[in-house]
Every structure is written in C-alpha cells, then in structure tokens.
Chains A and B, each alone.
Chain A
Amino acid sequence: QVQLVQSGAEMKKPGASVKVSCKASGYTFTDYFLHWVRQAPGQGPEWMGWISANNGGTNYAQKFQDRVTMTRDTSINTAYMELRSLTFDDTAVYYCARDGSGPRHWGQGTLVTVSS
C-alpha cells in the first residue's frame, strides 16, 4: 500500500530555514507528482506546490514562490521541501501527499514551530 513517512517535528527561529523530507513506498516513485500542503493551527489546508518525481519539475503557489524549494532523490524515493526566511506565521503542520487527481495519499505531517 502507498505509504508516505515524513521527518520529525522541527523548531526554528525566525529567519531560519527548514527542510522536511517525505519517504515514499508502495508504488513506483517516479510515476506520480508529490504535493506539499501546510495547515496552520485552526486553519484549513493551504497548497504550497508540487514536484514531479519523474523529472523534478516544480510548480509553486505564488505565495511561496520566492522562498520554497521542492526537490527529490529518486535513489531513495524521497521528496524534500525547504522553506526559507521563516516567520512566526510559518508555524504549521506540513504534509506531503501523492497525487491522484489531486492530493490522494497523505503523509502523517511534520510540525514546524517558529519561535524565538
């Protein structure tokens, strides 16, 4: 079965960067896009972008265009999302999700807390 396992919780200071990983199993990694979605406390999901696991092509939401980078390593079936210049507003749970006409299979989420 499709499984996405994300890296553990992170605590960062304002201005720092965070890199979250998402290890996929149970399917052919390069056959699907991977989405990154975040959810701030008490808010709904917010789509950040996707990466093609096949060729590494990306498409970012305009809000994050200048400070997000999504990459993947096909040798270990893992995708990464790096967010730079963190502010308190970036405190959220970050999810990866495999595509299937939209996010279909979700990781467990990674809590990123930005605190001074």
Chain B
Amino acid sequence: NFMLTQPHSVSESPGKTATISCTRSSGNIADNYVQWYQQRPGSAPTTLIYEDNRRHSGVPGRFSGSIDRTSNSASLTISGLRTEDEADYYCQSYDPVNRHVVFGGGTKLTVL
C-alpha cells in the first residue's frame, strides 16, 4: 500500500500560477496513472486531469498535470488564477497490488 501526500493549503494571487504537489510514499509515481479532481463547497468532485496529463472534456487549458520521477510526485498547475479556482483539489492513483483506488488528502487553494 502507498499513500499520496498533498500540501494542506496553497495560496496565490489572481493571475498568477499555482502548483499543487502529490507525493507517492512508495513505488514509482510513473507506474500508475494520476488523476486530479476539483471540488467546490457543496458540490461533487469533478475530474480535471486523467492519465497524468490529459485534460478531461471541457477543462480549460489553464489546468495541466505532470509527473516528476525524481521527486516521485505528480503536480497540478493552474495558470492565470481566477477567484473561481478557489476549491479543494485531490489527486488519485491506483494500487495494482490490491487493485484499490488511493486518494490524496486534498489541498485547499485560496486565490486572494
């Protein structure tokens, strides 16, 4: 079993770029796809990125995903920040040993 660790919170100004990390505790980040979700208060999660770096349909190009083998982590980058980007963001991957889905603990993004 592995864990996905995210920073509890990230804060950035409108128009700037925010990056949220997701570090895998064991095993290689590149071995299993990483997905990213956005969740606004009172709403269901919505998929932003799937398979490490592919944007879900309708997701603006301001959102991008990547993985870094050296730090064994995935990142979600949001450029041109808007106040509407304030939300919780979760990463997710898959544990092939037990075929279970693993979620990160979530990052609260504040745009101010």
Give me the interface of A with B, judged by CB distance under 8 Å. Answer: 35, 37, 44-47, 50, 59, 61, 93, 95, 100-109
Contacts and interface: CB of A to CB of B under 8 A. Distances in A.
A47 B101 contact: yes
B50 A61 contact: no
Nearest to A109: B44
A102 B99 contact: no
Interface stretch (B9-17, B20-28, B67-75, B89-97): B89-97
B50 A100 contact: yes
Interface in B58-112: 88, 90, 92-94, 98-106
Nearest to A105: B47
Interface of B: 33, 35, 37, 44-47, 50-51, 56, 88, 90, 92-94, 98-106
A44 B19 CA distance: 19
A106 B47 contact: yes
A37, A45, A109 interface centre (most CB from chain B within 10 Å): A45
A74 B98 CA distance: 26
Contact of A44 (B46, B50, B93, B103): B103
A21 to B, nearest CB: 16
Given A44-B90, A44-B106, A45-B90, A102 B44 contact: no
Contacts of A61: 100
Nearest to B58: A1
A44 B105 contact: yes
Contact of B101 (A44, A50, A93, A108): A50
A102 B33 CA distance: 8
A109 B46 CA distance: 12
A46 B104 CA distance: 10
A106 B47 CA distance: 8
Nearest to A46: B103
B50, B98, B101 interface centre (most CB from chain A within 10 Å): B101
Nearest to A59: B99
Given A101-B35, A101-B50, A102-B33, A47 B44 contact: no
A101 B51 contact: yes
A103 to B, nearest CB: 7
